Chain A
Amino acid sequence: QSALTQPASVSGSPGQSITISCTGTSSDVGGYNFVSWYQQHPGKAPKLMIYDVSNRPSGVSNRFSGSKSGNTASLTISGLQAEDEADYYCNSYASGSTLGVFGGGTKLTVL
């Protein structure tokens, strides 16, 4: 399975909103509502932020939201805060592969 495509970097100022895209194919992102997003701070383990396209686990701020259109999923962070600066990875279930596929990751910089 090929990795999902994410922008290498995005940036925004505190209080602004940003969106990170994750583009796949009809065999993964477009074919299933099983997209998840993970936040990873330097030297730390990833943390689940969104699952099943748009569901937030308990304890995750409602400033984080997910959506999907066709073969592209998106993570939107509103009201940017300094603590949001991290790497973000999307993931999708993929047909023919129980393990699924990750995106290459996006580095979010809060200016």
Chain B
Amino acid sequence: EVQLVESGGGLVQPGGSLRLSCAASGFTFSNFGMHWVRQAPGKGLQYVSAITNNGGSTYYANSVKDRFTISRDNSKNTLYLQMGSLRPEDMAVYYCARARNGFTFIDYWGQGTLVTVSS
């Protein structure tokens, strides 16, 4: 059974940093690209970042470019999102998700971790 379990969310002040983790199990992690997708309270889904299966290529939404860094450790079956210079508009539930067919769709999602940005 495919499982994606996010952790690391919490309360952070504007301008602060946070690192999210996503532990993957039930599939060969190193064979799949991965996404981070977020959802602000009461709002829709928004892509944040993606990474290829070997970590060789990374992609970012314009809104987080130069502030967030996606990475992965295939030996630990773990995906990361390092978030810096956090803004109130970054407050959201962050989902880890498995990419398919390049990055054309997502077939599995984690349960999400909430990031709150507030002073």
Contacts and interface: CB of A to CB of B under 8 A. Distances in A.
A111 interface: no
Nearest to A37: B105
B60 to A, nearest CB: 8
A46 B106 CA distance: 10
Contacts of A3: 44
B44 A45 contact: no
Task: Give the size range of B's interface with the partner.
Answer: 20 to 34
B95 interface: yes
Contacts of B47: 99-102
Interface residues of A, number: 24
A91 B103 CA distance: 11
Given A98-B103, A105-B45, A45 B109 contact: yes
Nearest to A48: B107
Given A45-B95, A45-B112, A51 B44 contact: no
Interface of A: 3, 32, 34, 36, 38, 44-48, 51-52, 57, 89, 91, 93, 98-105
Interface of B: 35, 44-47, 49-50, 59-61, 95, 100-112
